[in-house]
Structure 1
Amino acid sequence: MELRQLRYFVAVADELNFGRAAERLRIAGPSLSQQIKALERDLGVRLFDRDRRSVSLTPAGAALLPDTRALLARADDLKRRAGRLSGSESVRLGYVNWLPPDLTSRTAAVAQVHVDAWVAPSHTQAARVADGSLDLAVCWVRTEDLDRLGVRARLLGADRLHAVARGGDSRDVPVVAARDTDVLIDDDLTSWASWNVYAEELAQATGARTVRISDGAITGPAFFDHVRRCRRPVLNSPKGQLTPLPPDLVRREIVTPKPYWTWSLVWRQNEDRAGVLAAVDALCDGVGDVGIHAPDAWLPADDPHALTG
């Protein structure tokens, strides 16, 4: 019997649906079912009655559920206490593609910050903080996300976005108004949900034109192919372009307004671990508005950092 199996038991008991529980736990449905069966074998009792239409707790499952919750709570408390006794709590941090360059030096004195290896989109990382898979995440969020997920956010950084256009002479490249740009919107909501929300609001607010794609080329080499097909400069996403700009394309500054993408540090509203809260303070200390509250800057209306400037 393992603690993770007990967490699986609680998740299925909460959802009374293996599919929803698997999604919440971010594991495959067949794996969850196998783990529950293994737990039932170890305990010697059946925890759930299940058929094709429904899942319900057995009397044994209902009787063991309160003790299981209490046991998991004690395990979590033990981990927190051990972290405090060691002098530095372990803090799990997820990100999309940007992290503060001085993250380690800022947090070394207050917590052991472990950067999660799973790089995922902003909406996924925020949801992982909400469900406890991460303690912190650096991502883009909306005020709506804070309320819905039960998380808090503080500004950590911002990227001023630019456009990429055809034309190989980079010595005298004119600026371009936001209304004269194209904005790519991808049909893949799993990867690009946050970007699509941002891009659609930018287009609505400035008059930029949206271009729907379905090949995931918001960034990467295929992005340049879209730039070549579009007649207008194309907004570059904040996810970063690892491929060098081809010689037949140029970078153009966007003005009137200047679009910014914010990076927020996100943590749970009910977070009480001293190490996590100390890491928040250490990372956010001294971060100003990084230009996003200038008169000609633009943020989505639902960006929490747009409300303070």
Structure 2
Amino acid sequence: MELRQLRYFVAVAEELNFGRAAARLHIAGPSLSQQIKSLERDLGVRLFERDRRTVRLTAFGETLLPQTRALLEQADTLRRTARGFAASEPVRLGYVSWRPADLAERVSGVAQLLVDAWVMPSHTQAGRVADGSIDLAICWVRATDLAEQELTGSLLGADRLFAFSIGDDSPVRARDTVVLVDADTEAWASWNIYAVEFARATGASVVRIDDHGITGPAFYEHVRRLGRPVVSSPKRDATPLPRDFARRTVVDPIPLWTWALVSRQDEMRSAVLATVEALTRDVKVEFDPRACWLPADDPFHAELGA
């Protein structure tokens, strides 16, 4: 016997019509009927008398209905109390360079969100979740990373990556672009993995650097030196775009970078679980999956259809 079945019983008892009750519960009519039959078997009594035209409560159903309503109200009270505890419990979140603009608004009343001020690379933030230093992280991860560190990743967003060049702002094919790979694998491990796989998959060129020029003024210097469109990483950067530069859409295919909300697989704290649910509920990424590219080990292939 489950609370869900008891809610179904109350809905049918109030509607005295399986069709209306199913519509109210947002489930299929046959499924509702099966659940009521299952509940009757568990209780050992018939709750309803029904024929093709009418549904009415049996004497047992009449007796059990007020008790069931009271039980469901107790369950709702318990849930509200638990949510109240969760809302005052701190949840520590780390991120790399991006976070939703309405982050605080989404978790208001759910948990006390503490955003870690240390902006660190994706692999570092994922590792901090795994070792318990923080509870959640917004970062880029592979399915392999999640499995090896016993983490769970929920899709939070995705960035379309662009290329930059001097003057020309027309679309550029992926195979005609350049990706930069930095020698500092501690700082740029995730980007390097992404960039190398993108180049192998599309025919883009790899240029190796050792000056952290993946972002900032050094990035634009590399673009100027190479004289070719260079794909920019998703890392946010306040450096203004030089006047003679243009941002170019990359096509055939469009490179996507996904952002995951990472938590521990064995996470049991209600505040953390509620925060994950609040932040990832109704996330929509609107790209044409037929035109996009993701790394082979990206954990969100199925969700994005890319």
TM-score over 0.5 for the alignment?
Answer: yes
| Residue 284 in structure 1 maps to residue 290 in structure 2 | no
263, 269, 291: which is aligned to 1:296? Answer: 291
User: Could you report, residue by residue, the CA deviation over 1:110-147 in whole angstroms, capped at 9, with x for unpaired residues?
Assistant: 10010001110000000000000010000000000001
- Structure-2 residue corresponding to 1:219: 215
How far apart are residue 249 of structure 1 and its match?
1.3
Q: When the two structures are aligned, how many residues end up with a matched partner?
A: 223
State the partner residue of 1:253. Answer: 249
State the shift of 1:268 in Å.
Answer: 0.1
Rate the CA distance shift 1:231–1:110 in 2: closer, same or farther, 3 A: same
Instruction: Give the distance between the partners of 2:164 and 2:236, measured in 1 at CA.
Output: 13
Name the larger-Rg structure: 2
Residue type of the alignment partner of 1:299: L
Deviations 1:2-30 (A, max 9, x none): xxxxxxxxxxxxxxxxxxxxxxxxxxxxx
Q: Corresponding residue for 1:6? A: none
Output the CA distance in 1 between the equivalents of 2:95 and 2:173: 31
Per-residue CA deviation, residues 33-60 of structure 1 (Å, 9 max, x unaligned), is: xxxxxxxxxxxxxxxxxxxxxxxxxxxx
Is the contact between residue 89 and residue 271 of structure 2 (CA under 8 Å) also seen in structure 1?
A: yes
Q: Which runs of 5+ in 2 are unaligned?
A: 1-81
**Corresponding position of 1:135:** 135
Q: Unaligned 5+ residue runs, structure 1?
A: 1-81
**Cα shift readout 1:36-90 (whole Å, capped 9, x = no counterpart):** xxxxxxxxxxxxxxxxxxxxxxxxxxxxxxxxxxxxxxxxxxxxxx997575210
Partner of 1:235: 231
Assess if the C-alpha contact under 8 Å between 1:157 and 1:290 holds in 2.
no
Among all aligned residue pairs of Structure 1 and Structure 2, give the percentage whose two residues are the same amino acid. Answer: 58
2:94 is aligned to 94
User: For residue 201 of structure 1, what is the aligned residue in structure 2?
Assistant: 197
RMSD between aligned residues? 1.6
Contact 1:83 1:90 in 2 (8 A): no
What is the alpha-carbon distance in structure 2 between the residues aligned to residue 85 and residue 227 of structure 1?
A: 52
| Alignment-derived partner of residue 120 in structure 2 | 120
Query: Are residues 1:185 and 2:189 paired?
Result: no
Aligned to 1:266: 262
TM-score, scaled relative to structure 2: 0.70
- Contact kept in structure 2, 1:162 and 1:254, CA below 8 Å: yes
